[in-house]
């Protein structure tokens, strides 16, 4: 998970909305803003951490008693956020939490904007906002940014309540916006492959992991900000953790998320390939070995789930079964078939 930021130039209408709600923007961006000054002067920094974007959204929501932060032309009482989190807390699996979120947000918004889609060994939380009554409907760039951030907020909420199960299960993300030459700063958040130009927003999770039983955290603070508090706290905790994680650990996270090219991993980490290679070497690691280790861990998990050797070979893009057999035996001391048989017995 890389440091995600929001370009203030992109959210000027939201900043103006905050001003009309009596929000002190200066305290948020940590630079003085002259009262009544136009938002285009040099008082503002170029961007803010995404946690501060959600703080801004929270402050507007509080001031207007509207959970949508006045982004919707239909108001949603602010305290309904407490209700959503309390319902999610009762779920016994990530899938159950997703079902609860879909059901209760549809109920509160009065329409079926959210749904679940099942395909193979994946389950997607789908957000279709094509008919959502956005206040900023005429500003397509802003509406797409709000949609991007909504997916981030949804995943953070699910992951914070499921003790990391959502992050473990996330396979890919799908966004409405078309791919640009530069990754939008907010979407640096994702460490899994991102599909652009899709019909709906989607968070795609591994179905088996989503179904595994879990105990949703008991210590959920519903007394103050509910939903926003969870998301902001989660983002800040993870930003602090990222600062202390080794390059090897961060690389493994990105490979686990589906990035298999060192160029892509280095770019996500904000460094050149040469620097990435050097940093890994200093930690006694090598990208190719980390890639192989991740692939073999996936193979082990698939064989334990009962997948055939042929299917596992194909899924992991090995040239043939013999190459897979050799690699797996060097790692585990058993052929894949022998390992699967030993595990089942």
- pLDDT tier at 241 (50, 70, 90 boundaries)? low
Three-state DSSP at 47 gives strand
pLDDT tens-digit readout, 181-193: 667 889 989 988 9
Rounded to 10 degrees, the C-alpha dihedral 204/171/339/261 comes to 160
The predicted model gives 124-133 an average pLDDT of 96
pLDDT > 90 in the chain, percent: 36
Three-state DSSP at 115 gives strand
- pLDDT tier at 207 (50, 70, 90 boundaries)? very high
Q: Whats the size of the chain, residue-wise?
A: 345
Please tell me the predicted confidence (pLDDT) of residue 229.
Answer: 78
How far is the C-alpha of 131 from the C-alpha of 117, rounded, in Å? Answer: 19
DSSP string, 167-179: HHHEEEEE-SSPP
Q: Give the helix ranges, DSSP H, for 245-286.
A: 247-256, 262-268, 273-282
Q: Which of 40-44, 180-184, 246-250, 290-294 is the least confident region?
A: 40-44
Q: Give the helix ranges, DSSP H, for the chain.
A: 12-20, 25-29, 50-64, 80-89, 94-109, 140-161, 165-169, 207-211, 227-244, 247-256, 262-268, 273-282, 287-304, 309-315, 321-332, 336-344
Distance from chain centroid for Cα 258: 14
The neighbouring-strand residues paired with 126 are: 115, 202
* Residue 41 CB coordination number (10 Å): 9
Please tell me the predicted confidence (pLDDT) of residue 301.
Answer: 78
**For the chain, which domains are there?**
5-211 (no CATH), 288-344 (1.10.10)
Contact predicate 312/299, CB 8 Å: yes
How far is the C-alpha of 157 from the C-alpha of 151, rounded, in Å? Answer: 10
Q: Per the structure block, which two tokens stand in for 192?
A: 């899994």
Q: Which of 62-66, 145-149, 329-333 has the highest mean pLDDT?
A: 145-149
**In this model, does residue 8 exceed pLDDT 70?**
yes
Q: Per the structure block, which two tokens stand in for 178?
A: 């078309």
Query: What is the helix (H) or strand (E) element at residue 118, kind and residue range?
Result: strand 114-119
How far is the C-alpha of 292 from the C-alpha of 300, rounded, in Å? Answer: 12
How far is the C-alpha of 63 from the C-alpha of 59, rounded, in Å? Answer: 6
**In this model, does residue 277 exceed pLDDT 80?**
yes
Residue 279 phi, psi (nearest 5):
-65, -40
- In angstroms, the Cα distances linking 57 to 72, 284, 307, 311 are 12, 43, 45, 46
Does this model's pTM top 0.85? My answer is no
* Residue 226 CB coordination number (10 Å): 23
Residue 139 phi, psi (nearest 5):
-110, 90
Q: Which of 23-27, 65-69, 281-285, 301-305 is the least confident region?
A: 23-27
Contact predicate 335/325, CB 8 Å: yes
Please tell me the predicted confidence (pLDDT) of residue 220.
Answer: 46
Q: What is the DSSP letter of 72?
A: B
> Residue 55, CB half-sphere, CA atoms under 13 Å: how many?
19
* Nearest CA-CA partner of 143 in 39, 16, 14, 48: 14
Contact predicate 257/193, CB 8 Å: yes
Q: Give the helix ranges, DSSP H, for 269-308.
A: 273-282, 287-304
Please tell me the predicted confidence (pLDDT) of residue 181.
Answer: 67
Distance from chain centroid for Cα 27: 27
């Amino acid at each position: 998970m890389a440091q995600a930021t929001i370009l203030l130039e992109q959210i000027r209408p939201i900043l103006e909305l905050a001003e009309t709600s009596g929000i002190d923007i200066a305290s948020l961006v940590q630079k003085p803003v002259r009262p009544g000054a136009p938002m285009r002067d040099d008082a503002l920094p170029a961007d803010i951490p995404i946690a501060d974007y959600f703080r801004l959204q929270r402050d507007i929501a509080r001031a207007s008693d509207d959970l949508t932060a006045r982004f919707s032309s239909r108001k949603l009482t602010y305290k309904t956020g407490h209700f959503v989190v309390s319902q999610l807390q009762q779920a016994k699996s990530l899938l159950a939490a997703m079902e609860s979120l879909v059901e209760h947000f549809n109920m509160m918004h009065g329409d079926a904007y959210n749904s679940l889609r099942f395909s193979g060994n994946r389950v997607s939380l789908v957000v279709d906002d094509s008919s959502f009554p956005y206040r900023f409907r005429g500003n397509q760039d802003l509406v797409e940014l709000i949609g991007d951030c909504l997916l981030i907020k949804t995943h953070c909420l699910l992951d914070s309540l499921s003790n990391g199960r959502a992050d473990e299960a996330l396979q890919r993300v799908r966004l409405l916006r078309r791919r640009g030459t530069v990754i939008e700063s907010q979407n640096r958040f994702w460490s899994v492959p991102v599909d652009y130009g899709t019909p709906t927003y989607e968070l795609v999770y591994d179905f088996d992991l989503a179904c595994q039983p879990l105990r949703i955290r008991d210590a959920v603070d519903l007394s103050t900000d509910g939903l926003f508090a969870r998301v902001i706290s989660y983002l800040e905790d993870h930003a602090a953790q990222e600062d202390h994680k080794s390059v090897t650990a961060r690389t493994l996270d990105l490979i686990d998320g589906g990035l298999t090219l060192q160029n892509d991993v280095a770019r996500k980490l904000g460094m050149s390939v040469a620097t990435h290679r050097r940093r890994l070497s200093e930690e006694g690691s090598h990208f190719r070995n980390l890639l192989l280790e991740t692939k073999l861990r996936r193979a082990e998990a698939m064989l334990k789930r009962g997948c055939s050797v042929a299917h596992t070979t194909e899924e992991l893009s090995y040239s043939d079964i013999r190459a897979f057999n050799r690699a797996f035996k060097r790692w585990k001391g058993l052929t894949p078939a022998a390992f699967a048989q030993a595990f089942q017995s």
